[in-house]
Amino acid sequence: MSAGWIGLDKWTRGWLLASVVFGAGLLVAAFTVSAYNGTASQTLVQANGGKVIFVVAIPLVGALLAIWTIVVRRGHAQHGVGVFTWLVIGALGALALLGSLTIGPFVAPVPICLLVAALRTQEAGRAKS
């Protein structure tokens, strides 16, 4: 199995990329997808104002932070993903759980993809040791 970008296999890179795509898709959807079935169809941003952008951007920012941490650790030849990455995954998972009746189901793919990538990275680190 060949290791490419930052020493990760293609499946792990795919899971990391998927987390970014889901996070970015959530942000784009907030501006473009009709969120309410009332008399006037509005997007999430139109209905709640610009402040909702910060909440909707959290999964994308979290995914980018987790990937950045993995890249830095791999660049310094450290095994595993690090405590910070696990905290980000946990925080995003908590956000998805707490918002399960609203935005949570749409946030959930980001921490799930990051979790799978982190577990694959941990296993790869153990296999090399």
Q: 3-state DSSP: the chain helix, strand, coil percent, rounded to 5?
A: 75, 0, 25
Report yes or no on 4 lying in a domain. no
- Residue 52 is assigned to a structural domain of this protein: yes
Residue 1 covered by a domain = no
**pLDDT of res. 39:** 60
Cα–Cα distance between 107 and 56 in angstroms, integer?
A: 9
What pLDDT was estimated at residue 104? 87
Average pLDDT over residues 18-37: 90
Number of domains in the chain: 1
Segment (H or E) for 120: helix 109-128
Asked whether the whole model's pTM tops 0.85, one would answer yes
- Tens digit of each residue's pLDDT (9 = 90 or more) over 60-102: 999 999 999 998 888 888 888 899 999 999 999 999 999 988 8
